[in-house]
Amino acid sequence: KAGVTQTPRYLIKTRGQQVTLSCSPISGHRSVSWYQQTPGQGLQFLFEYFSETQRNKGNFPGRFSGRQFSNSRSEMNVSTLELGDSALYLCASRRHGRSYEQYFGPGTRLTVT
C-alpha cells in the first residue's frame, strides 16, 4: 500500500508570495491533518480535514488555509508569506474511525527568503 505523498518536496518563495502544498493520503484514509515543524516550536497542528470539511484547527493565523477534495486529497495554502513561515510542512492521514494513529508523508520543506 502506498504511503502518504506530498508535493513538492522542496520550495523556495519570497516574502509576500503565496504557496500551495499538496497531499495524497494513504488509500482508504479519509482524514488528513497538516502540521508545521520548526526547530524552535517542534511539531504544531495546523488543521484536520475529513469528508471535505475542516474538523479541527490549530492556533495559526488566517493566512494558513486548506481544503480537501472528494478523493480525500488535500491542499494547504499560505498567503502573504513571512520569513517565519519557513518550516517543514507535514501531512498525515488517518483511517476514519476511533483510531488515533496518523501516518505522515515526507513533508514539504518551505524556505521563505
Partner 1 sequence: GQQLNQSPQSMFIQEGEDVSMNCTSSSIFNTWLWYKQDPGEGPVLLIALYKAGELTSNGRLTAQFGITRKDSFLNISASIPSDVGIYFCAGPILGGNYKLTFGKGTLLTVNP
Q: Which is nearer to partner 1, 66 or 107 (CB)?
A: 107
Say if CB 63 and CB 77 are below 8 A apart.
no
Out of 1, 2, 42, 62, point to the residue binding partner 1 (CB under 8 A): 42
**Residue 14 lies near partner 1 (rule: CB under 8 A):** no
Positions of E strands within 1-113: 5-7, 10-13, 19-24, 31-38, 42-50, 53-57, 64-68, 74-78, 87-94, 103-104, 108-112
Q: Which of 54, 56, 71, 80 binds partner 1 (CB under 8 A)?
A: 56
Q: Is 109 in the site for partner 1 (CB under 8 A)?
A: yes
Hey, is 85 helix, strand or coil?
A: helix
Residue 25 binds partner 1, judged by CB under 8 A: no
Site residue total, partner 1 (CB under 8 A) = 23
When asked if residue 62 is in the footprint of partner 1 (CB under 8 A), the reply is no
- Select 11 or 106, whichever has its Cβ closest to partner 1: 106
Phi-psi region of 55 (alpha: psi -120 to 50; beta: other; left: phi over 0): alpha
Strand order across the beta sheet in which 74-78 lies: 5-7, 19-24, 74-78, 64-68
- For partner 1, what does the binding mask look like between residues 68 and 97, x meaning CB under 8 A? ----------------------x-x-x---
